[in-house]
């Protein structure tokens, strides 16, 4: 005669094989979940058997408990297997394919302005110039006053900027570094100073309220305008090619006398006239001239003994010329589609 316990254990085995069949037939994840509820849910078949534990003699409990736990564990592991399978068939470890190309990290690149600046610095270094820097937040004295632009001078209007209080301005040009350099040392001086400058400008394709300049200064005995021309031409040829030409036009800056603006022949069209040079064949780079004795006076140089030339250049314009960029704004928008071309 079989005991009640043997009966129960037999039933459990039947349920277990029924479960196996049903799980084999189950296709979709919902069906597997349905089986879980049917057998192991709160009112599930196997769960129901746990209530027998209270109805059988105490000495039989451990045996039934053990059987129930084995069946429950079996069902759980089968359902879990199927669950994992549904999620991807195989574990990600099995899916690793060493022959697939790797994920290439995107490398950073230099900004076109940095590329041009690097070349400008190299060329001037090869001509015997050192590189100096100065602050972007500058005093009124260095940005204007010492450059012979006293308060209320009309030429200040061309270089309006942000005033941070009475005597501090966002520098409008790199020329203050001329003064800072001359204050620190005696001639001979051959220095360039690259950096960012700020002006009140209405934004358009060729104007932006911040841009970059490279300042140049040479002070020694017997320095002439011919030296200025020579250095600028040598520089332009090295940067843009041997057939590049330069031209000087008379102009005015309070800190140079005489003053000029200088242009480089358009390399985009071979100076024939195109969109980049707006049909003129020439690109304005910036100003230059012989250092005004009034500036020497501010730094205590003897203008009877020394002469010097100074020049500025717009880095953004040179970059635009070199890379045929027709809108300055793109240099400041951090658009990766543009930047990754360099
Ligand atoms: N600082 C002038 C400007 O920004 C350019 C310049 C530099 C002119 C040096 C003469 C000498 O417009």
241 CA from centroid of ligand 1 (Å): 24
Instruction: Select from 286, 295, 310 the residue to mutate for testing ligand 1; criterion: most ligand atoms less than 8 Å from CB.
Output: 286
- Beta carbons of 179 and 298 less than 8 angstroms apart: yes
Atom of ligand 1 at shortest range from CA of 173: 4
Q: What is the rounded distance in angstroms from the CA atom of residue 121 to the CA atom of residue 159?
A: 26
Instruction: Select from 253, 263, 290, 296 the residue to mutate for testing ligand 1; criterion: most ligand atoms less than 8 Å from CB.
Output: 253
Note the pTM of the prediction, 2 decimals. 0.70
Per-residue pLDDT at 178: 98
Per-residue pLDDT at 1: 47
- Beta carbons of 341 and 333 less than 8 angstroms apart: no
314 CA from centroid of ligand 1 (Å): 10
Which whole-number Å values give the CA distances from 257 to 86, 147, 250, 267, 338, in the listed order? 83, 12, 10, 30, 41
Atom of ligand 1 at shortest range from CA of 217: 9
Per-residue pLDDT at 90: 52
Residue nearest to atom 7 of ligand 1 (CA): 312
Partnered with residue 250 across adjacent β-strands are 260
Phi, psi of 130 (to 5 degrees): -100, 160
Residue nearest to atom 10 of ligand 1 (CA): 288
177 CA from centroid of ligand 1 (Å): 11
Contacts 24+ apart (CB under 8 A), 115-123: 115/319, 115/342, 116/315, 116/318, 116/319, 116/322, 117/194, 117/212, 117/214, 117/315, 119/239, 120/192, 120/194, 120/214, 120/235, 120/239, 120/313, 120/315, 120/318, 121/192, 121/194, 123/235, 123/238, 123/239
202 CA from centroid of ligand 1 (Å): 20
> Average pLDDT per run of 10 along the chain, which is 342 residues long?
78 92 88 90 90 86 89 90 64 72 87 97 97 97 95 85 90 97 97 96 90 98 97 95 94 96 89 84 93 96 97 94 90 93 92
Per-residue pLDDT at 51: 87
213 CA from centroid of ligand 1 (Å): 9
Per-residue pLDDT at 87: 56
């Amino acid at each position: 005669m079989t005991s009640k316990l043997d009966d129960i254990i037999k039933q459990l085995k039947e349920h277990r094989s029924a479960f196996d069949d049903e799980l084999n037939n189950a296709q979709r994840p919902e069906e597997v979940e349905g089986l879980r509820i049917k057998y192991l849910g709160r009112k599930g078949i196997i769960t129901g058997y746990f209530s027998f534990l209270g109805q059988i003699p105490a000495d039989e409990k451990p045996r039934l408990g053990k059987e129930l736990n084995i069946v429950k564990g079996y069902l759980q592991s089968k359902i879990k297997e199927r669950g994992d399978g549904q999620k991807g068939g195989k574990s990600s470890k099995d899916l690793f394919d060493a022959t697939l190309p790797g994920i290439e990290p995107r490398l950073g690149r230099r900004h076109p302005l940095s590329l041009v600046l690097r070349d400008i610095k190299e060329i001037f270094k090869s001509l015997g110039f050192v590189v100096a820097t100065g602050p972007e937040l500058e005093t009124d004295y260095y940005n204007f006053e010492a450059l012979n632009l006293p308060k209320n001078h009309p030429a200040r209007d061309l270089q309006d900027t942000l005033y941070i209080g009475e005597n501090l301005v966002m520098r409008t040009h790199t020329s203050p570094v001329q003064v800072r350099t001359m204050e620190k040392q005696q001639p001979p001086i051959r220095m360039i100073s690259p950096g960012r400058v700020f002006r009140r400008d209405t934004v358009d394709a060729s104007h932006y309220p911040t841009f970059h300049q490279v300042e140049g200064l040479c002070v020694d005995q017997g320095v002439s305008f011919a030296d200025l021309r020579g250095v600028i031409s040598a520089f332009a040829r090295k940067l843009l090619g041997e057939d590049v030409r330069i031209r000087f036009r008379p102009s005015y800056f309070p800190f140079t006398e005489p003053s000029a603006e200088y242009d480089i022949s358009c390399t985009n069209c071979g100076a024939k006239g195109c969109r980049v040079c707006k049909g003129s064949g020439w690109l304005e780079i910036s100003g230059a001239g012989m250092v005004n004795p009034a500036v020497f006076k501010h730094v205590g140089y003897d203008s009877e003994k020394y002469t010097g030339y100074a020049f500025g250049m717009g880095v953004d314009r040179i970059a635009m010329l070199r890379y045929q960029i027709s809108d300055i704004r793109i240099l400041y928008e951090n658009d990766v589609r543009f930047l990754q071309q360099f």
